[in-house]
């Protein structure tokens, strides 16, 4: 029974790891090490935003469920609106930071 619990997460992570390895191998062969470094940098910024979205989803999910179960639909909608504003603000802030630092980042890789 212990081996069955978590096996779906294991398969998901295993498939992600294999896909990521193959993608990195193709980028390394086609573009080179500088392209791989640039792709990794862009990927990590995407992972950071993904962690923000998942964190807010896991943090507000129980509150929204509790409010909906208690027939507090207005409060549930308020929490959803605030969460959407915060996540949208984080997305916009990340895009501004990336756009402002894009020239500097490119100069680091291409001199």
Average pLDDT rounded to a whole number, residues 71-81? 93
Sign of the CA dihedral running 19, 21, 23, 25 = negative
Q: Percent of the chain at pLDDT above 70?
A: 92
Closest by CA to 109, choosing from 101, 23, 48, is: 101
- For 45, counting Cβ atoms within 10 Å of its Cβ (0-12 exposed, 13-18 middle, 19+ buried), the class is middle
Q: What is the pLDDT of residues 23-55, one digit of tens each?
A: 999 989 988 888 888 888 778 877 888 888 888
pLDDT at 71: 93
The whole-model pTM stands at 0.58
Q: What is the pLDDT of residues 48-69, one digit of tens each?
A: 888 888 888 889 999 999 999 9
Sign of the CA dihedral running 6, 15, 48, 56 = negative
pLDDT at 3: 63
Mean pLDDT of the chain: 84
Q: Percent of the chain at pLDDT above 90?
A: 28
């Amino acid at each position: 029974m212990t081996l069955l619990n978590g096996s779906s997460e294991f398969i998901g992570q295993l498939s992600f790891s294999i896909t990521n390895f193959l993608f990195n191998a193709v980028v390394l062969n086609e573009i080179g090490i500088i392209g791989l470094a640039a792709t990794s940098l862009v990927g990590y910024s995407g992972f950071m935003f993904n962690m923000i979205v998942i964190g807010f989803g896991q943090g507000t999910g129980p509150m929204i469920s509790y409010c909906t179960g208690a027939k507090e639909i207005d409060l549930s909608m308020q929490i959803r609106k605030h969460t959407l504003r915060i996540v949208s603000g984080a997305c916009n802030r990340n895009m501004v930071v990336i756009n402002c630092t894009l020239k500097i980042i490119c100069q680091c890789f291409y001199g």
